[in-house]
Amino acid sequence: MILTTSQMNYRLDNLNTEHKRVAYQISSGRKIDDGSEDSDIYGRELYVENKLSVYREVKVQLNKAVAQNNASDTAIMSMKKLIEKIKANLIKANTSALNDSERQIIGTELKAMRENIFDFVNTKIEGDYVFSGRKAKTQAFVKDANGKVTYQGDIRVRKILSEEGSYRERGITGMDLMMYPTSVATKTSPTLTFTDENRIVDQNNEEWNIIKNRDGEVKFIVRDEYHKGNAVGIKALGTALSGNPASPVFTTEIAGEHVQLSETATEFIDKNGEKWIVEKNASGKPDFLIRENAYKGAQFDRSNLKPVNTISAVGVTPVVYATDVGSQDGTKFEAKRNFFDILDESINALNQVDKDGNPIDTNLAKDLIGKAETNMEQFYTGMNAAHAKLGTRNKVFEFSTESITTKLFQFKVLSQDVIGVDLGKLAVEAKALEVTYAGLYSTINKTSQLSLVNYIK
């Protein structure tokens, strides 16, 4: 009797254990609660959960990258529409049909567009500036006290996790987008020309700083890393090729011809072959031009006298420097110019002033508008190339997002197979336990009736 009772308690304990297992699996949807229950299943579960965790994080990063890329694409398309309007206005302004006041109206319109473009290049998504490269928390473009716009973001783009252990470049930088090359030097054509307003980048996307001496003269360019403690390549410069922004330039108009004079000029021959003498003031600077025959007793009239205006370097080609970049395979240096500098020159020319706000004559203004038109076209070509690069990178992230979404689905299916339960099977097991419990308790009840007391009765 004692043995029988012990056996029934043992069977009841087993049923209780099975009931707990079935109840846990039905409520949690998991096969095991602890790794000690089945080490094989537990090991596979850890592997699948790790993969799911990685791919979920990758998808979060990809979704963010796609959102930023879409914001970049929208901003660029908006900027291109504005720049197309700027180009059309410059073409319109560069005709003889408009007077000075009408050109000034166009200048006002361009100034408003400039502010809109400035806002677009500083587009910000989820706290990140989309055109700042790796310096995502730093505003891409900033203005100084005089309104001059410069790029302060990184020249390299951020790399985003697009697959487990794989990174892809996201977006484009403000330098890619808003600066265009004015000079390119390679192994076969190693001479790079640039001005002190350019920024220089090599084939490894490393920037080279323009270094000046105490007198403000450009002496050499040096790789940016040099300033961080690494003694690497310095490129010595050749002599200045043209221009001299340190000297004022003087301008006047003779016989419908725009005339530019240096500070040391003493005479000028006009297109009709007549000589004009440069008269200077007490400071030794050109004051006016007078026709040579006015000194020979000819009747003097106002046509023999031309006042001279001083203008700044805006009307003159600035100093152009040259350096040899070497002849190693793969060498490529680019001197890049800022779009905002072109636009500022355009606005100044339309308002007939130089960069310092001093008035310039109509012919010089027209010359500058024509140059701005050409420069704007070159910039627009570069912007289209940068936009195409962005589109290519956007596609990579779109494909990666599709791939990660598929892998997440596959691992969720695998997770269900590894740790999930078959609820239909559990329902059958639960019913079987119910029947077994009923049978066991019936047996216990009948056994208890076989006691000595009941036998004596």
Q: Compute φ and ψ for 359, nearest 5 degrees.
A: -70, 145
In DSSP notation, 67-79 reads: HHHHHHHHHHHHH
If asked whether residues 149 and 126 sit together in one domain, one would say yes
If asked whether residues 143 and 264 sit together in one domain, one would say no
**How many residues are present in the chain?**
457
If asked whether residues 240 and 254 sit together in one domain, one would say no
CATH code: domain of residue 164? 1.20.1330.10
Helix (H/G/I), strand (E/B), else coil: 13: helix
If asked whether residues 207 and 262 sit together in one domain, one would say no
Residue after which a domain boundary falls, among 311, 327, 343: 311
If asked whether residues 389 and 343 sit together in one domain, one would say yes
If asked whether residues 137 and 209 sit together in one domain, one would say yes
Q: Evaluate whether residue 440 is within a structural domain.
A: no
If asked whether residues 181 and 216 sit together in one domain, one would say yes
Q: Residue 256 is part of which domain span?
A: 249-311
In contact, 176 and 154? CB cutoff 8 Å: no
Q: Evaluate whether residue 280 is within a structural domain.
A: yes
What is the C-alpha separation between 132 and 158, in angstroms, rounded? 9
What is the C-alpha separation between 149 and 339, in angstroms, rounded? 9
If asked whether residues 399 and 270 sit together in one domain, one would say no
What is the C-alpha separation between 12 and 449, in angstroms, rounded? 19
If asked whether residues 332 and 232 sit together in one domain, one would say yes
What is the C-alpha separation between 267 and 443, in angstroms, rounded? 131
Q: Evaluate whether residue 444 is within a structural domain.
A: no
Say if residue 451 is exposed, middle or buried (CB neighbours under 10 Å; 0-12, 13-18, 19+).
exposed
If asked whether residues 124 and 266 sit together in one domain, one would say no
What is the C-alpha separation between 371 and 314, in angstroms, rounded? 12
Residue after which a domain boundary falls, among 291, 311, 331: 311
- pLDDT tens sequence for the chain (457 residues): 455 566 666 666 666 666 666 565 566 556 555 555 566 766 777 777 788 788 888 888 888 888 888 899 999 999 999 999 999 999 999 887 788 889 999 999 999 999 999 999 999 988 899 999 999 999 999 999 889 999 999 988 888 877 777 788 888 999 999 999 999 999 899 888 888 889 999 988 888 888 777 666 777 777 766 555 444 456 666 665 555 444 566 777 776 676 777 777 888 888 888 888 888 877 777 777 887 776 555 444 555 566 655 544 444 456 788 888 888 898 899 999 999 999 999 999 999 888 777 787 787 888 889 889 999 999 999 999 999 999 888 888 888 888 888 887 777 777 666 565 555 665 666 666 565 656 666 666 666 665 555 555 5
Q: Evaluate whether residue 38 is within a structural domain.
A: no
Q: Evaluate whether residue 136 is within a structural domain.
A: yes
What b/e sequence results for 223-244 when a residue is b if at least 16 CB atoms lie within 10 Å of its CB, and e otherwise? beeeeeeeeeeebebeeeeeee
Q: Evaluate whether residue 42 is within a structural domain.
A: no
In contact, 19 and 433? CB cutoff 8 Å: yes
What is the number of domains present in the chain?
Answer: 2
If asked whether residues 288 and 324 sit together in one domain, one would say no
Q: Evaluate whether residue 43 is within a structural domain.
A: no
Residue after which a domain boundary falls, among 363, 379, 405: 405
Q: Compute φ and ψ for 333, nearest 5 degrees.
A: -115, 140
If asked whether residues 79 and 222 sit together in one domain, one would say yes
Q: Evaluate whether residue 302 is within a structural domain.
A: yes
